[in-house]
Amino acid sequence: MLAMVETKQLSKNYKNNRGVHGMNMAIQQGEVVGIVGKNGAGKTTTMRMLMGFIHPSAGSAAIRGMDAWTKAAKTKPLIGYVPGEIAFPDTKSGATFLQNELALLRANKDEYVNELIQRFKIDLTADLRRMSKGMKQKTALVCAFMTKPPLLLLDEPTTGLDPVMRDAFIDLILQVKAQGTTVFLSSHMFNELERTCDRIMFLKDGQVIDVLDESKFAEIHAAQRVTIVAATNDGFERLLTSDFEPVRQDPLHNTVVLLVPNDDEARLLQLLGEVKLTDVSFDTQTLDNYFEKELEL
Ligand SMILES: Nc1ncnc2c1ncn2[C@@H]1O[C@H](COP(=O)(O)OP(=O)(O)OP(=O)(O)O)[C@@H](O)[C@H]1O
C-alpha cells in the first residue's frame, strides 16, 4: 500500500549547513507521527516541503505517491495544514474567514464545523485582526480540520493554547486518528506527543537522530531519576562508580543524578546505605529529560 507520506533523502540546503539533510521517512495511513527538535532543527522546513511550498535541494517528498512539489495541485487538497506562523487574510471576523475558506474548498458549514467551533470555544464574532495568539491558533485548527482531510500537517499546533484547549486538541487528534486520519505534527511538548503519537522523530541540525515508537515510551517511564547529594567527596565518587547510569553530575556540590530502573530499588537502597547523604529526591523519568541531553533542550 502507498504510504500517506514518504520522503527519500529529502534535503533543503540553506547557507552554513542549515536546513534539512537526507530525511527518510514513511508514514502510513492512520498513523500519528510527531517531530521534535530544538529551534532551527528543520521541522518547519520539512513541513513546508511536504506542503509543496519549498522545492527540495535534493531527494523527494511524496503524498500518497504523488510528488509534493511537481504534483502540488493534487496533493494540497488532501492536506489540512496549520503553519508555524499564522497570518490570516484581512478579513473582519472569524466567521467570515471560515466561510470564505469553506467556499474556497467548495465545502459547507456542516455539523462537524460547528462541533469544532464549540470544542475550541471560538467566538466567531471576534475581530480576526484583534484576536489573541491562542484564538488565532484555534481558528487555524478549525480551518485545518473542518473538511476532514485524510492528512493533517500541523506545525506546532498548540502554541498559545491554554492547558484546557491543549487537552481539547489532544482529544481531537485521538478522535481523527480513530477515524483513520494521518497526522504529522511538530511540537516542543513531549507530553502531548506522547499522548497522541505512534512514534516520535527527533531532529537535530536537519537530521533525524532518533525515532522512538510507542513501546519505548513505557520503557522510558519505567525508570526514575534519583538526585543524590553526598555529604563528602568520597561519597560522590562512590556514587559515580555504581552500576547505575549517571545522567548528570555536579562535583562542586557532590551531586549526581542516577538513572534507576523502577524494579531495581533494592540495589539503590544498598548503594544509599554505603554513602553519607545530605539529600535524596526521586523523579519519574519523562521523555523531556530522556532527550534533554541528546537534543540539548
Ligand atoms: N528561507 C530560509 N533561508 C535561509 N535559512 C533558512 C530559511 N528557512 C529556514 N532557514 C534555516 O534553516 C534551519 C531550519 O529552520 P526551521 O524553521 O525549519 O526550524 P524549526 O525546527 O522549525 O525551528 P523552530 O522550532 O524555531 O520553529 C534554521 O537554521 C533556519 O535559520
251 in the same domain as 156:
no
167 in the same domain as 124:
yes
Q: What's the longest Cα–Cα distance across the chain?
A: 73
Q: Give the tens place of pLDDT for each residue, 207-227.
A: 999 899 988 888 888 899 999
Question: What pLDDT score was predicted for residue 284?
Answer: 85
Question: What pLDDT score was predicted for residue 296?
Answer: 58
pLDDT beyond 70 at 83:
yes
Average pLDDT over residues 270-274: 94
Residue 42 alpha carbon to ligand 1 centre in Å: 6
- Out of 188, 218, 248, pick the residue that ends a domain: 218
Give the confidence band of 293 by pLDDT, cuts at 50, 70, 90: low
- Nearest CA owner, ligand 1 atom 31: 40
- Please state the pTM of the whole predicted model: 0.87
- Out of 162, 194, 218, pick the residue that ends a domain: 218
59 in the same domain as 25:
yes
62 in the same domain as 143:
yes
Question: What pLDDT score was predicted for residue 14?
Answer: 95
Looking at the structure of the chain, the number of domains it has is 2
- List the single range of 2-16, 83-97, 241-255, 277-291 with lowest mean pLDDT: 83-97
User: Any idea which residue has 540539548 for its cell?
Assistant: 296
Give ligand 1 pocket residues (Cβ under 6 A).
Answer: 14, 18-19, 37, 39-45, 84
Average pLDDT over residues 98-113: 80
For the domain that residue 143 is a member of, what is the CATH number?
3.40.50.300
246 in the same domain as 190:
no
3-state secondary structure the chain: CCCCEEEEEEEEECHHHCEEEEEEEEECCCCEEEEECCCCCCHHHHHHHHCCCCCCCEEEEEECCEECCCCHHHHHHHEEEECCCCCCCCCCEHHHHHHHHHHHCCCCCCHHHHHHHHHCCCCCCCEHHHCCHHHHHHHHHHHHHCCCCCEEEEECCCCCCCHHHHHHHHHHHHHHHHCCCEEEEECCCHHHHHHHCCEEEEEECCEEEEEEEHHHHHHHHCEEEEEEEECCHHHHHHHHCCCCEEEEEEHHHCEEEEEEEHHHHHHHHHHHHHCCEEEEEEEECCHHHHHHHHHCC
- Nearest CA owner, ligand 1 atom 25: 39
pLDDT beyond 90 at 198:
yes
For the domain that residue 232 is a member of, what is the CATH number?
3.30.70
pLDDT beyond 60 at 37:
yes
Closest-lying ligand 1 atom to the alpha carbon of residue 20: 14
**Cα–Cα dist 195/138, whole Å:** 20
Range of the domain at 17: 5-218
173 in the same domain as 264:
no
ipTM: 0.96
Average pLDDT over residues 256-274: 93
Closest-lying ligand 1 atom to the alpha carbon of residue 46: 18
Query: What average pLDDT does the chain have?
Result: 91
Residue 230 alpha carbon to ligand 1 centre in Å: 43
Residue 60 alpha carbon to ligand 1 centre in Å: 19
Average pLDDT over residues 43-71: 97
**Cα–Cα dist 143/211, whole Å:** 30
Which grid coordinates belong to 177? 486518528
For 32, counting Cβ atoms within 10 Å of its Cβ (0-12 exposed, 13-18 middle, 19+ buried), the class is: buried
252 in the same domain as 198:
no
pLDDT beyond 60 at 297:
no
184 in the same domain as 291:
no
Residue 271 alpha carbon to ligand 1 centre in Å: 46
Closest-lying ligand 1 atom to the alpha carbon of residue 84: 27
Residue 18 alpha carbon to ligand 1 centre in Å: 7
